[in-house]
């Protein structure tokens, strides 16, 4: 019986003349493989569904509220809803320059645009430990994004989503899973540069909130990757509105310019006077003043910011900033305090009044430096000739005088004679002669 059984299984078939037992083995193997593939597909599909279900739709929380500075009361400035008029093409002229290192200090100044070099001895962030440690990813503010989330939001950091770039890295437009539009700054980790800028920006504005500061919503720390996520402001910046980048939409009115400058002044007053430690931005310029659809100013780019702790009136540090906006005492010696921001703001205010670049090599020699040219014009009683010709409805004499005197006080070569930003706010809002009482008293005593 056993012999007959073995002979039957060993019998050749008509299928390629294969023996019965070989054919059966092949069919059983194919059946097992099909069953395994079906099982694997079902399990894999189930896991994918679970992942999609578990993926959190993370809402972006508001940063911690900080007390507002009390300077917004009795605002005397009221602006119109229409901030644009007259379509006219104009072009921004880039200024080339040479670094001047007379005192042996490292003076690093950029052309108009983003700039982010930091000094190695950054005393304002020494107390912070390295963010490369995993446990420090759980900061006590904002939203902790994963790299994967931001890759999805920016379509894998596609070129089509690039909205800005520079030495610091690249800024992308992104859409979070909950539909929120954000700006994602991906820092370049050149010799640890991303780490430095990440710490500076987080420490400077991570815990604060002000309507005229771009909100830092969250961050991403994975390996060597450092990313910062901001609210998205998509109505250009002041440089574009003044020098042609947004000319296809029209030109800013006088009231529109004053509104933007007043908002900027309030934000700086908040950084200097309302929080501890105070924050010196160190790179105030028109391209760092973003504008929303209501024409509110929002200061951005805190990559060069410095913190002045309690009891510190100033620090000495490497000179960085943007050519034409840097305060003279800071450029010559590295002496930095909040009055450096005041000087930069004064330059921005003059730029908004005149529509000129801070330095323009295309103009005659005596007009290349905007601040010097304007002082000459005011001294010659020709201040009515300095107003930007793109402003269709000219400002009143009193409004122009108030803005010019405020700006000239801000760019005083003597840092001690410059007003604080809180005083600047009152000067811009007031209908009176823009010199604070305490400054008038000092001047009378000096005489």
- For the annotated catalytic residues, the residue numbers are 283
Cα(328)–Cα(198) distance, rounded to whole angstroms? Answer: 28
- DSSP assigned state of 368: S
Q: DSSP readout, 374-409?
A: HHHHHHTT-GGG-S-TT-SSPPPHHHHHHHHHHHHH
Cα(108)–Cα(115) distance, rounded to whole angstroms? Answer: 10
Nearest Cα neighbor of 153 from 95, 220, 90 is 220
Helix (H) / strand (E) element for 371: namely: helix 370-379
Is 298 assigned to a binding site? no
Nearest Cα neighbor of 84 from 254, 280, 244 is 254
Helix (H) / strand (E) element for 35: namely: helix 20-54
Q: Match 């300095």 to its residue by tokens.
A: 386
Cα(124)–Cα(119) distance, rounded to whole angstroms? Answer: 11
Strands 216-222 and 225-231: antiparallel
124: its two tokens? 């304002």
Strands 84-85 and 251-252: antiparallel
Q: Are 48 and 130 in contact (CB under 8 A)?
A: no
Cα(407)–Cα(342) distance, rounded to whole angstroms? Answer: 9
Rg from Cα positions in the chain: 31
Q: Match 């961050």 to its residue by tokens.
A: 219
Cα(206)–Cα(199) distance, rounded to whole angstroms? Answer: 10
Which residues carry a binding-site annotation for ATP?
A: 185
Q: Which residues are annotated as a binding site?
A: 185
């Amino acid at each position: 019986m056993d012999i007959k059984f073995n002979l039957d299984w060993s019998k050749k078939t008509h299928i390629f003349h294969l023996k019965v037992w070989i054919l059966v083995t092949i069919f059983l193997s194919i059946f097992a493989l099909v069953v395994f593939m079906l099982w694997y597909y079902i399990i894999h599909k189930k896991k994918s569904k679970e992942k999609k279900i578990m993926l959190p739709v993370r809402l972006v929380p508001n940063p911690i509220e900080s007390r507002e500075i009390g300077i917004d009361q009795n605002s005397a400035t009221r602006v119109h809803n229409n901030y644009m008029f007259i379509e006219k093409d104009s072009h921004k002229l880039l200024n080339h320059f040479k670094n001047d290192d007379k005192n042996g200090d490292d003076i690093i100044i950029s052309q108009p645009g983003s700039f982010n070099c930091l000094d190695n001895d950054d005393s304002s962030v020494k107390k912070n430990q390295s963010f490369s440690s995993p446990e420090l990813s759980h900061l006590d503010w904002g939203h902790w994004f994963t790299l994967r989330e931001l890759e999805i939001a920016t379509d894998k950091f596609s070129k089509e989503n690039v909205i800005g770039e520079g030495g610091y890295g690249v800024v992308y437009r992104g859409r979070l899973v909950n539909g929120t539009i954000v700006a994602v700054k991906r820092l370049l980790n050149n010799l640890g540069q991303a780490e430095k800028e990440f710490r500076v920006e987080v420490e400077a504005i991570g815990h604060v909130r002000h309507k005229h500061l771009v909100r830092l919503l969250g961050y991403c720390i994975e390996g060597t990757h450092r990313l910062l996520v901001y609210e998205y402001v998509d109505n250009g910046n002041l440089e574009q509105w003044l020098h042609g980048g947004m000319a296809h939409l029209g030109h800013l009115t006088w009231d529109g310019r004053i509104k933007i400058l007043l908002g900027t002044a309030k934000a700086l007053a908040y950084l200097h006077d309302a929080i501890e430690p105070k924050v010196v931005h160190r790179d105030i310029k028109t391209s760092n003043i973003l504008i929303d659809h209501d024409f509110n100013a929002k200061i951005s780019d805190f990559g060069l910011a410095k913190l002045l702790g309690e009891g510190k009136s100033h620090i000495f540090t490497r000179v960085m900033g943007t050519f034409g906006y840097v305060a003279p005492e800071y450029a010559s010696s590295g002496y930095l305090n909040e009055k450096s921001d005041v000087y930069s703001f004064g330059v921005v205010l003059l730029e908004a009044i005149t529509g000129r670049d801070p330095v323009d090599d295309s103009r005659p020699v005596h007009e290349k430096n905007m601040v010097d040219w304007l002082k000459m014009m005011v001294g010659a009683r020709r201040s009515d000739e300095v107003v930007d010709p793109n402003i269709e409805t000219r400002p009143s004499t009193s409004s122009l005088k108030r803005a010019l005197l405020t700006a000239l006080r801000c760019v005083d070569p003597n840092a001690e004679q410059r007003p604080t930003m809180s005083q600047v706010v009152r000067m811009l809002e007031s209908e009176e002669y823009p010199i604070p009482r305490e400054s008038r008293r000092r001047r009378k005593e000096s005489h």
